[in-house]
């Protein structure tokens, strides 16, 4: 796979799978709330994109949890999702960071895996993967409070 194609795929994953579809689902909001207490692995399976978002909001202090839960239920994730596509960064478009209200949502593609035909092997070098092969993305999402960093 060439660098330009990797960037395009990563941008597509962030724009479509993360930003426009998954973050606005109630199941995703509930996963974010659960991540206050334990790391949550959220599965994504769309026609052209698959993978996981590993969600961790455990750094949000006990004194802010009720407000955070309320903010999630009041659809702050919908607002965040609108900014993700325009804030993608990194040499291979592997990062995105959105600051919304008092929260920082930091996304990072940490791993890739091959398709079922290749037994979901971890990918260590995307440049060795044929361009017609579908790859899965593993995204780490860390949610923190800006003042607490």
In the predicted model, what is the mean pLDDT of residues 7-22? 87
Q: Rounded distance, CA 74 to CA 4, Å?
A: 37
Angle value at C-alpha 107, between 149 and 45, nearest 5 degrees: 145
**57, 140 Cβ separation under 8 angstroms:** no
The structural domain count of the chain equals 1
pLDDT at 57 over 80: yes
- Domain range enclosing 110: 3-148
Cα separation of the two ends of the chain: 37
> Looking at the whole model, is its pTM more than 0.85?
yes
Nearest to 28 by CA among 106, 65, 81, 97: 81
What per-residue confidence (pLDDT) applies to 18?
84
Average pLDDT, the chain: 92
Nearest to 106 by CA among 129, 83, 73, 127: 83
């Amino acid at each position: 796979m060439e660098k330009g194609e990797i960037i395009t795929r990563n941008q597509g994953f962030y724009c479509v799978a993360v930003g426009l579809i998954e973050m606005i689902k109630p199941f995703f909001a509930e996963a974010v709330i659960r991540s206050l207490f334990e790391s949550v692995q959220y599965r994504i399976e769309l026609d052209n994109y698959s993978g996981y978002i590993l969600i961790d909001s455990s750094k949000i202090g006990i004194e802010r949890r009720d407000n955070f839960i309320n903010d999630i239920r009041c659809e702050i994730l919908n607002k965040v999702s609108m900014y993700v596509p325009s804030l993608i960064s990194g040499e291979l478009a592997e990062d995105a960071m959105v600051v919304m209200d008092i929260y920082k949502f930091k996304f990072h593609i940490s791993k890739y895996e091959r398709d079922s035909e290749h037994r979901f092997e971890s990918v260590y070098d995307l440049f060795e993967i044929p361009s017609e092969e579908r790859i899965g993305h593993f995204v780490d999402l860390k949610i923190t409070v800006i003042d607490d960093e």
